[in-house]
Amino acid sequence: MYEQRKVAVEHVEFDFHIQTKPVAQLIYLILQQKQIGYKNVVVNISGGLRYMSIWFYIACSITNTKIIHADYKYEGKEEVGINSNVELITLPFNNITERQFEFLELFFEPNYSLEDFFSQRYSFNDHPVLAKIKKYSSLEQLRKTLEIRKGSPLTRGSINGYIKKLQNLSILEISPNPEDKKEKTITISYIGIAFFLQNLFNKQN
C-alpha cells in the first residue's frame, strides 16, 4: 500500500453554496483515506493558491494534513508551466474536550458503528449518520436528552455553560425558534461536525 495519498480537491465536489460545509466534507474524505491505511495524506490544490478556499486550509489544519499548491511560471499574464509545488504551513487547532465531544454526540443517532463510520461505501452527503443531524427546539429538550444519556440530573446553568463555550468555537448554530421566540433552536454546525469527525477518528486509532 502506498505511504502517501494525494487528494486533488478540484476533482471532488464540495457544497460551496453552504457556508463551512466544505470543511466537514474534506475532513471526512481525509479521514476515509487515513482509515484505509494511508498515513501521509496530502491535499493538492492543483489549480494553484488562488483557487484555494479558506475552508480547505481549516480542514487541513484540524486534521494536521499537508497542503500543497502549484507555483506557476508566467510569460506576461499567461501560465506556461510550474516551478514547483509549494507546501503551506498549517495552524495548530486545539482539540475539543471529552465532555464537549459527549455533548456533540447528542446531535447524532446514538447507535452508529464506530468501526464502520468512515467506510468507503459512503460519501459525506449520503452517510446514514451524517445525513440525519438532530435539531433541538429548546434548551429544556436538550437538557433532558443529555440527562438521559449521562444518567444524572443537570441544571439549566450547566447546559448554558456547554453551549456558550461551543458557540464561541463556532461549533453550534443557535437561532430563534419560530414557534416560540423565547426559546432557541439548537443544532451542530459544519465546523462542529468537523471536530466531531476528527475526535471520532482519534478514538479508534
DSSP 3-66: SEEEEEGGGS---TTSTTHHHHHHHHHHHHHHHTT-SEEEEEETT-GGG--HHHHHHHHHHT-E
Closest CA to 84 of 30, 52, 51, 44: 44
Q: Best-predicted range by mean pLDDT among 17-21, 164-168, 194-198?
A: 194-198
* pLDDT the model gives residue 1: 35
Question: pLDDT tens-digit profile of 136-192?
Answer: 988 888 888 888 888 888 887 888 888 888 988 899 998 886 776 666 789 999 999
Hunting for cell 453550534 — which residue is that?
172
Query: What pLDDT is stored for residue 81 in this prediction?
Result: 66
Whether residue 10 is predicted with pLDDT greater than 60 in this model: the reply is no
Q: Are strands 135-136 and 172-177 parallel, antiparallel or unpaired?
A: unpaired
For 152, the grid coordinates are: 444524572
Please state the pTM of the whole predicted model: 0.82
Q: What are phi and psi of 13, to 5 degrees?
A: -85, 125
Q: What are the backbone dihedrals phi and psi of residue 88, each rounded to the nearest 5 degrees, phi first?
A: -85, 145
Q: Which 3 state secondary structure label does DSSP give 87?
A: strand
